[in-house]
Amino acid sequence: MHEYTVAYDIYATARRAALENAATRVKKISADFGEMSMINPEQVEFLFSALSEEDELFQGAVLEYRNIPVKTECPCGYKGDEKYVCPNCGKLPKIVEGREISVTNIEIEVDDE
C-alpha cells in the first residue's frame, strides 16, 4: 500500500520542518500528486489524518492537494498530454511532468515570544 508510505512521509516531513522552526502548531500541508504517480490522493488524505490525529502539534491540521496533469515531450517536437503514443511520429513521448509527489508548503504557527 503505497498510500500509507506517502502519507507517513508527508507527516514526517511536516513534523520535522515544524520542529526545526519552533512551531507550536501545524495548520496546513499542501502537496502535489502527479497524475502518473499511481497514488490515490483521497486515501493519502485519510491516512495522513489517521497518522496525525494523536499528535498535538497537528491538531486541526489539514492536508490539501493538487492533481498535476501529465505533460509530455517528444524528440519530434510534440509537446502535450499524450502519455503513450506521440500523435506526430508514433513514438513513446517523454513524461516531463505528472509523476511527482511533493510537499509544496507547510503552514505553521509559532509563538512570538
Binding residue numbers for Zn(2+): 74, 76, 86, 89
SS3 content of the chain, % helix, strand, coil (to 5): 35, 35, 35
Give φ, ψ of 61 to 5 degrees: -70, 145
Please enumerate, by residue number, every residue annotated as part of a binding site. 2, 74, 76, 86, 89
Please enumerate, by residue number, every residue annotated as part of a binding site for Ni(2+). 2
